[in-house]
Amino acid sequence: MRLRVLPLIALIGAACMPPSAPLVPRIAPLTTQLRTRIAEVPGAQVGVYVHDLATGETLGIDDTVTFHAASTMKVPVMVELMRYVDTAATTLDDRLPLVNTFASIIDGSPYRLSRDGDSDPSLYDRIGSPITFRELNERMIVRSSNLATNVLIERLDPTRITATARALGAEGIMVRRGVEDQKAFDAGRNNVTTARGLGRLLSAIERGEAASSWATAAMRATLLRQEFNDEIPMGLPAGVPVAHKTGWITATTHDAAIIYPRDRAPLVLVILTRAIPDRATAQRLIADLARLVWAHCATTAAPRCVP
């Protein structure tokens, strides 16, 4: 089963040849334009992190500020799952029971998820049946299933998930609990991230530093199948591949992406927003910021990627 995703490496993770001319820094002048667009949304709090994998340049706007992670926390869960499989502790095709009873991290009391509040409600029809790690991961990332996420978090352990993210340079990420643990939410014990931390985790995935080669290819492929594409992808030209994970809760909308321009090394872009009650406004802001990043970075002289 692992060999099925390996061809993606030839398409996206290709070897890069040196540029024919010196690289010209293009990221720094972008900061003013990004800040100007952010200022057009009164009260908006935004964290931005850009990492140009062609030049090594980075840009950050409030990129070390902590945000509620919302569903972007599912990326470190995926990384930990792939590393778990890499140890031969299990395989992606092993099964475990699909349950909907979880223990609060506050006092161990049980809580359940509501299908009405989940972006993947069809999974609830299968509670009590076995399900593979592969399908749980697919639903967690591609459809942002909260139920799949909680099943994986209970198996993998939040402490280990956080430790793995930190070991990969993602200092701002902390996974504390499953989704909808209301007692933990009321106590302020939330899953959090920074734009820089999430960006560094995506960079580690793209560079093959987060897990084995087959697992890296599998993570890219899964992120590329994302079904919610109204944020960063909306600001890019049609057809540009984007491996990404969105997240949203009340007044909070995020997107974290690896962008693959043609004939060029990728761009990592993370945009976190809060204090924007209207989600459509936040989506337009994220798309516009992505459009500015693309205009400044995607045509920069950079290594050409060839098979």
Q: Which residues of the chain have pLDDT under 70?
A: 1-28, 299-307
In whole angstroms, what is the distance from residue 294 CA to residue 148 CA?
A: 33
Residue 199: per-residue pLDDT: 98
Phi first, then psi: what are they for 255, rounded to 5°? -150, 140
Domain 24-306, CATH homologous superfamily name and number:
DD-peptidase/beta-lactamase superfamily (3.40.710.10)
Residue 263: per-residue pLDDT: 86
Residue 302: per-residue pLDDT: 46
SS3 category, 307: coil
| Distance in angstroms between the alpha carbons of the first and the last residue of the chain | 23
Residue 26: per-residue pLDDT: 58
pLDDT, tens digit, 9 for 90 and up, residues 233-287: 999 999 999 999 999 999 999 999 999 999 889 999 999 999 999 999 999 999 9
In whole angstroms, what is the distance from residue 248 CA to residue 10 CA?
A: 33
Q: What H or E segment, with its residue span, contains residue 196?
A: helix 195-206
Residue type, 147: L
Tell me, what DSSP letter sits at residue 270? Answer: E
Domain ranges for the chain, please list them.
24-306
Residue 300: per-residue pLDDT: 54
How far apart, in Å, are the Cα atoms of 78 and each of 128, 158, 256, 295?
Answer: 23, 12, 14, 31
Residue 11: per-residue pLDDT: 41
How far apart, in Å, are the Cα atoms of 5 and each of 12, 84, 133, 213, 220?
Answer: 12, 18, 16, 10, 9
